[in-house]
Structure 1
Amino acid sequence: ETETKKENHRFKMFIVDYHDSGYARFSKCSLMLSSLLGKENIYYATRKTTNGRAIKYSASEKKDETERIGRQGRLIDFKKDYMRHTENHPRALKYGVRSDIVHEINNAKQLILFESNATNNLATDDITLLPRPNDVAHFWNEGADEQNGSFRSEINRVINGLSKNNSLAIQTSILGSRGPFGRNNANFVYVAKMLRMKIVVVCQRDFWEGHYRLMEALASGAMVMTDPMHPLPAYLEDEESLVVYHSMAELKDKIMYYLSHTKDRLKIARLGYEIVMEYHQSAAYMERLIFGNWSTLDGL
């Protein structure tokens, strides 16, 4: 029996959870696994790190744009709620950079360079220095999802209003497909448009955190603005590699600031791109999961 137990302890079990609402059976699953393998060999990585997020906007309701964005929820107490059957601190696991998106980004980049060389003799390996004639994008159709997407629709209204007052070149509609098809098929038109934008704004759903759009935007070389995340994906920091906005007024102010401060914008865009390409593709994710630090939420 002792030898069998020692043999079992050679195995590590990683439970990887990408569900919007978290893995409901984690406690039962981890209890069964820990009895077989030992608590020290159970590892849990999850997208869900908060409870109680509830953000709701109405097109007809008058708003104070200086107010902070809705209810962000609270961080889950993982030590209290999740560590009864594992000795390893659960890890935040955000969506990474999709390889098919990277492939289309490279295709779009080559096309842009080819077109630009014909007129500007441009040649660069720095994706942030591609010609970006458009100012701001938020890829969403207002009213596309009344149940979970009112926040995104409000972002559209804010950017559209900002554009009217400042003559900005914007994109506030979806390119490509939403849902499972969009998540499993990279759209060249969508990707190519991101490479033409100076700033890409993303925001999460009304009731949960996390989406592919953040990493897609960062991988495009645009400067990315996001609503708060708890925590931000590993190695990304506000005002260093992306920009976090906490209210609609702050979103507008920061858009205008970074459009007029090119050096600052490019510095943030470049570091954001470098971080996601080095640390947020599949191979790096697997390496951090298997060999990384399991004593903290962010694994750093």
Structure 2
Amino acid sequence: MGAVSGQGTTYNLPNYHGQLYAVTPTETPFLAAIGGLNGGKRTKSVEFEWQTVDRRASTANNSVVEGAAAPTGVARSRSAVSNVVEIHQSAVEVSYTRQAATGMYGGINIGADDNPVDDELTAQISAELESMAVDVEMSFLSGAYQKPANNSTARRTRGLLTAITTNVNANGGTPRAISKAIVDSTLSTMFGNGAKLPQDSTVLMCGPGQKVALSNLYTASTTLNQPTMSRNIGGVAVDTIVTDFGTFGVMLDRWMPTGQVAVVDLSVCAPVWLEIPGKGLLFAEPLAKTGASEKWQLYGEVGLEYGAEVYHGLIKDLS
């Protein structure tokens, strides 16, 4: 197995017999939960924005005497948050011969005509689309924002983990095991900073190591913290844990950094697409003919909207 650069032929894309098993993971739980490759929002610019607004501090007994004149007027200004769509572009090319020779085998000669891939071009396009979806997932998590001044540099969307700056629970780069105290401290900080923590859309998103650690941490040792049944959030099956701040999902995402757990409000996250007229969002289209092959381009422009970053939290420096 391996990557093929350039045109696919009968020499570098051989057929084999029997069931075809995919060995590379392609799941994108974060992207799937917030809209997927066909959902989310649309933009008509390479840059898009949304707004945040705060409220003044309230106090007890904020009252006046009878007959008081109206006070000076007050108002709250709003702030803009922006991101950019990044271009995902790829191509697939398969020779005429390779498309036709579905009965030509490169493995053992067992006589059976049981090649499961009877349309090489479609199979390669589907495989590349799956890879591009994983690219989007990884950008939405860890993407480093880049808004270039000219076309010599690619646009890069800001990922969720990069966007979280307020509710960060770090340990100065020194790894530590996750604990109830760390989870409680993070949720408490988020609550204090205005995170709404809705139980139906908040998840603790993590990779396999931290998922095991969380499951071991939230055992049935106490009624309050025992794990609860699995449920479905945004079309993705998740486990749940009971915390002092609510019952939240635990979303396993293999593309999360090893030593991090993100507390994410999925309800304010969405992919934002620059829809190409007459073509759509993430699409495949044939390119001009130059010889005895079919070459298709795969293309899409997408960025992440994540609401107010204070709605999310990030636990870092975990062992």
Per the normalisation by structure 2, the TM-score is 0.22
Higher relative contact order (CA 8 A, sep 6+): 2
Structure ID, larger Rg: 2
